[in-house]
């Protein structure tokens, strides 16, 4: 447990054995993800026979359910989980804080404020039609974040954290004011959206989420070595030639933009950005170039599993995905708190 905690908190160099096994671990994770994703296509209130699927003899109804409902849903879960996983890993490396996660920048709260505003003042009557308002709210927060970053010529990473906290607080206050004007039916609609769901996703929404997720992963992986240098301290990173201002801007904007798109279409999916990176570090150590891709795969796997549980546990009633991911993430968070407490006690 002590070794696990130290890997999480201090970004120790990866042991040679873990370095050699990274490709194997990533391959196994991708294989499990592929298997679970394919199997999840058959889960739902309308059963799909795997025999008919494999033989290519699906009826028109089954084919319509598969292509119009199940496949977009699974792909949305994959894109959302990968986005939250890689963004969480990047945020934890940037802030050098094991509890950092994508919501720290205030984007999900801003998306909720935008969704609530469109619901209350524009009379949007469906939780699946809230994404334009959510996207606008998240985009406003993202550009505000970028403006603050550009003004802080010599600011420390801690200032970026404070900006995120301030955005979160401001958006939470606005959300409280807007929801106080909502009707009971509007509050139910907003609550369902805020708890997250991958249902009723269009192919256009799926394409947008996948594109943004891949772009964010490419940008963050490109900065993985700089994030690894930052783990040694800001002074050391500067000595090694890392532009901290540029690194902070690139990581923050990549995470904020990807999370904004995913949150707009899927709502808030809790704890994936926290749980995915910690599981990845447990498996391959703390080197960002290894943690980022594995955290994306694990985040996607957790989202697909949570979506299957949400569909199957109380069928035909569908449970909110965000509640399921919270049940998955809370034990991981508690384990982290306990391990941190033990580490501090041992160092005294």
- In this prediction, residue 6 has a pLDDT band, given cuts at 50, 70 and 90, of very low
Q: What is the largest CA-CA distance in the chain?
A: 67
Residue 193 falls inside a structural domain: yes
What tens digit of pLDDT does each residue of 250-266 get?
998 899 889 989 998 99
Task: Give me the pLDDT at residue 65, please.
Answer: 87
Residue 48 falls inside a structural domain: no
- In this prediction, residue 109 has a pLDDT band, given cuts at 50, 70 and 90, of very high
CA 339/CA 282 separation, integer angstroms: 13
Q: Mean per-residue pLDDT for 126-140? A: 83
319 pLDDT exceeds 60?
yes
Please answer whether residues 280 and 242 qualify as being in contact, where contact means their C-beta atoms are separated by less than 8 angstroms: no
Task: Give me the pLDDT at residue 207, please.
Answer: 95
- In this prediction, residue 1 has a pLDDT band, given cuts at 50, 70 and 90, of very low
Task: Give me the pLDDT at residue 11, please.
Answer: 43
159 pLDDT exceeds 90?
no
Q: Mean per-residue pLDDT for 267-295? A: 91
12 pLDDT exceeds 50?
no
**CA gyration radius, the chain:** 20
Residue 49 falls inside a structural domain: no
Percent of the chain with pLDDT over 70: 89
Q: Mean per-residue pLDDT for 74-83? A: 96
Per-residue H/E/C for the chain: CHHHHHHHHHCCCCCHHHHHHHHHHHHHHHHHHHHHHHHHCCCCCCCCCHHHHHHCCCCHHHHHHHHHHHHHHHHHHHHHHHHHHHHHHHHHHHHCCCCCCHHHHCHHHHHHHHHHHHHHHCCCCCHHHCHHHHHHHHHHHHHHHHHHHHHCCCCCHHHHHHHHHHHHHHHHHHHHHHHCCCCHHHHHHHHHHHCCCCCCCCHHHHHHHHHHHHHHHHHHHHCHHHHHHHCCCHHHHHHCCCCHHHHHHHHHHHHHHHHHHHHHHHCCCCCHHHHHHHHHHHHHCCCHHHHHHHHHHHHHHHHHHHHHHHHHCCCCCCCCHHHHHHHHHHHHHHHHHHHHHHHHHHHC
Q: Mean per-residue pLDDT for 282-310? A: 94
Please answer whether residues 294 and 26 qualify as being in contact, where contact means their C-beta atoms are separated by less than 8 angstroms: yes
Q: Mean per-residue pLDDT for 179-207? A: 90
56 pLDDT exceeds 90?
no
Residue 51 falls inside a structural domain: no
The number of distinct structural domains making up the chain is: 1
Residue 68 falls inside a structural domain: yes
Which range scores top for mean pLDDT: 16-20, 122-126, 132-136, 145-149? 132-136
Comparing 49-58, 128-137, 238-247, the range with the smallest average pLDDT is 49-58
Instruction: List the domain range (segments joined by +) for residue 105.
Output: 2-43+59-347
The CA distances from residue 23 to 29, 176, 342, in Å, are 10, 47, 32
Task: Give me the pLDDT at residue 2, please.
Answer: 39
154 pLDDT exceeds 90?
no
- The set of residues, in sequence order, having a beta carbon less than 8 Å from that of 229 and lying 6+ positions away, is 236, 237, 240, 242
Nearest to 295, CA basis, from 309, 311, 310, 278: 278
231 pLDDT exceeds 70?
yes
Task: Give me the pLDDT at residue 85, please.
Answer: 96
Residue 53 falls inside a structural domain: no
CA 224-229-231 angle, to 5 degrees, is 95
Task: Give me the pLDDT at residue 258, please.
Answer: 92
Residue 98 falls inside a structural domain: yes
Mean pLDDT of the chain: 85
For the domain that residue 137 is a member of, what is the CATH number? 1.10.3470.10
Residue 83 falls inside a structural domain: yes
């Amino acid at each position: 447990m002590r070794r696990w905690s130290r890997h999480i908190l201090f970004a120790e160099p990866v042991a040679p054995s873990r370095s050699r096994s990274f490709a194997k671990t990533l391959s196994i994770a991708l294989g499990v993800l592929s298997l679970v994703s394919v199997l999840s296509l058959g889960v739902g209130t309308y059963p799909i026979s795997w025999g008919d699927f494999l033989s290519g003899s699906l009826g028109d109804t089954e084919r319509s359910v598969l292509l119009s409902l199940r496949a977009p849903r699974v792909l949305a879960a994959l894109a959302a989980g990968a986005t939250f996983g890689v963004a969480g890993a990047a945020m934890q490396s940037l802030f050098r804080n094991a509890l950092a996660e994508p919501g720290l920048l205030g984007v999900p709260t801003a998306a909720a404020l935008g969704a609530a505003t469109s619901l209350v003042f524009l009379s949007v009557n469906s939780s699946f039609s809230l994404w334009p308002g959510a996207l606008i709210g998240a985009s406003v927060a993202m550009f505000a974040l970028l403006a603050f970053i550009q003004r802080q010529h010599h600011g420390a990473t801690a200032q970026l954290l404070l900006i995120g906290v301030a955005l979160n607080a401001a958006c939470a206050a606005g959300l409280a004011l807007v929801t106080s004007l909502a009707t009971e039916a509007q509050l139910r609609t907003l609550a369902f959206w805020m708890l997250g769901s991958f249902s009723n996703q269009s192919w256009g929404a799926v394409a947008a989420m996948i594109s943004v997720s891949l772009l964010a992963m490419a940008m963050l992986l490109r900065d993985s070595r700089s994030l690894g240098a930052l783990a040694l301290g800001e002074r050391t990173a500067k000595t090694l030639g890392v532009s901290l201002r540029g690194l902070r801007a690139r990581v923050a904007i990549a995470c904020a933009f990807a999370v904004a798109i995913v949150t707009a279409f899927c709502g808030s999916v809790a704890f994936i950005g926290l749980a995915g990176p910690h599981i990845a570090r447990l498996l391959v150590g703390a080197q960002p170039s290894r943690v980022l891709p594995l955290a994306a795969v694990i985040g996607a796997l957790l989202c697909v599993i949570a979506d299957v549980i949400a569909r199957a546990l109380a069928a035909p009633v569908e449970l909110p995905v965000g509640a399921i991911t919270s049940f998955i993430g809370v034990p991981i968070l508690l384990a982290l708190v306990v391990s941190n407490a033990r580490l501090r006690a041992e160092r005294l």
